[in-house]
Amino acid sequence: MNNASAQPLLSVTGLTTWFEVRGGGLFSAKKHVRAVDGVDFTIAQGKTLGLVGESGSGKTTVGRSILGLIPATGGRAVFDGIDLFSLTPGQWRGLRRRMQIIFQDPMSSLNPRMTIAGIVGEPLMAHSSLSRQQRKNRVGELLERVGLSRHYMNRYPHEFSGGQRQRIGIARALASRPDFIVCDEPVSALDVSIQAQILNLLDDLQKEFGIAYLFIAHNLAVVEHFADEVAVMYLGRIVEKADRDSLYARPIHPYTRALLSAIPVPDPGSKTVRLRLPGETPSPVNPPSGCAFHPRCPFTREAAQKLGNSDTSLIQSGGEKVRIVTRCMKETPKLKPLRDNPSHLHACLLV
């Protein structure tokens, strides 16, 4: 951790996680859901990477694969110099103190039969040899740090509101003093007013303890005030990744643009053009060839009108026939840097 500035805390390369699904018939071949299909990113100590995408884009699977909660199919994840996917179960357990997770659903993330003291103290039982009294004191400190009273210790989860439960989940994640926390849509299930409180709390904790976050969200607006870097996922791949300022100021990929235009603007007079995407997210069992976004992409349709028939093809999309650029369905795009900003990566063939 000494050379944190030189080396990222976590670096992920080529992460793939496929799930096997049984085919429809008795003799049909095994199929795979390509939930995560080649994802690269790094997170520096004390920094936040926002990972954004629709449901089904594989963002949750990325977080859980890194923590070893879902076995990754391929790729590498190096955490502070340790190759995570080559660890034995025993070594994993030792490392878990340093990596934690906060969940989306504050209802199912707390055991309904356990007291708050038991829930928050659980990581301490696994990793430290504190006495009962010491553990109680530490739980009290943690509860107060996340804005709850230490008198709540002997209560049960069903006696709290959604926002309070999320604070309890945060206290549990903090208990073992981790260096890295996967925040899996921690505010998506909360009221908007509570969302801001929880985001501010997470921000304060990051500043105080220097924790790195992988912040997963389905909404670019939530990430905007929070992340240092933002990666946008579509069907298991990262389609655009950049510094926060660069991404919000100049989104390149058509999917990022569509997500950004979906953020409501609190001004009734504003005339932003909503970029609507036709069709629905395709199934990751059978993703579209080439650029997986091509059946819904507004750019390729626009570009096809300027090109001759030799470079374009007709495809069926959402019940209508559309003409698109042939290259978009033939060639698999790779992340490439913008010419004037090498840290801004995107995966659009047409830009």
Partner 1 sequence: MKTKTTAAGRSLWGNAAARLRRDPVAIACLAVIAVYIVIAVISPIMLSHWDASHNYELRNAPPSAQFLLGTDGLGRSVLQKTLLGAHVSMTVGFMANIIAIPLGLLLGAFAGYFGRRIDDIIVWFYTTVASIPGIILLIALKFAFADRKIFSGSICEIDLSGMAGVYLALGLISWISTCRLVRAETMKIKELDFVLAARASGRSDFAILMRHVLPNVFHIAIINFSLGFVGAISAEVMLSFLNLGVQNLPSWGKMINEARMDLVVGRWWELASAVTAMFIIVLAWNIFGDRLRDALDPKLK
CB of 175 to partner 1, least distance (A): 8
- Taking Cα atoms as reference points, which of 150, 70, 169 lies closest to residue 111? 169
Of residues 118 and 278, the one with the C-beta less far from partner 1: 118
Which position has the token pair 């299930």?
189
> How distant, in Å, are the alpha carbons of 44, 173, 283, 309 from that of 31?
36, 36, 12, 35
Residue 37 contacts residue 65 (beta carbons within 8 Å): no
Q: Considering beta carbons, is residue 109 or 256 the nearer one to partner 1?
A: 109
Q: Token digits for 284?
A: 């990751």
Min dist CB 213 to partner 1, Å, is 15
CA distance 36 to 10: 18
Least distance between partner 1 and beta carbon 80 (Å): 16
Looking at the Cβ atoms of 116 and 252, the one nearer to partner 1 is 116
332-337 long-range CB contacts below 8 Å, 24 or more apart?
A: 332/290, 332/291, 333/290, 333/291, 335/40, 335/238, 335/241
Q: Which is nearer to partner 1, 124 or 239 (CB)?
A: 124
In this complex, which beta carbon is closest to partner 1, that of residue 93 or of residue 330?
93
Q: For residues 119 and 328, which CB has a smaller minimum distance to partner 1 in the complex?
A: 119
Distance CA 231, CA 347 (A): 11
CB of 63 to partner 1, least distance (A): 10
List interacting residues with partner 1 (CB under 8 A): 64, 67, 69, 92-94, 96-97, 99-101, 103-105, 108-115, 118-119, 122-123, 125-127, 147-149, 151-156, 158-159, 169, 172, 176
Sign of the Cα torsion 138, 143, 144, 146 reads positive
Work out how close the CB of 186 gets to partner 1 at its nearest, in angstroms, rounded to a whole number. 12
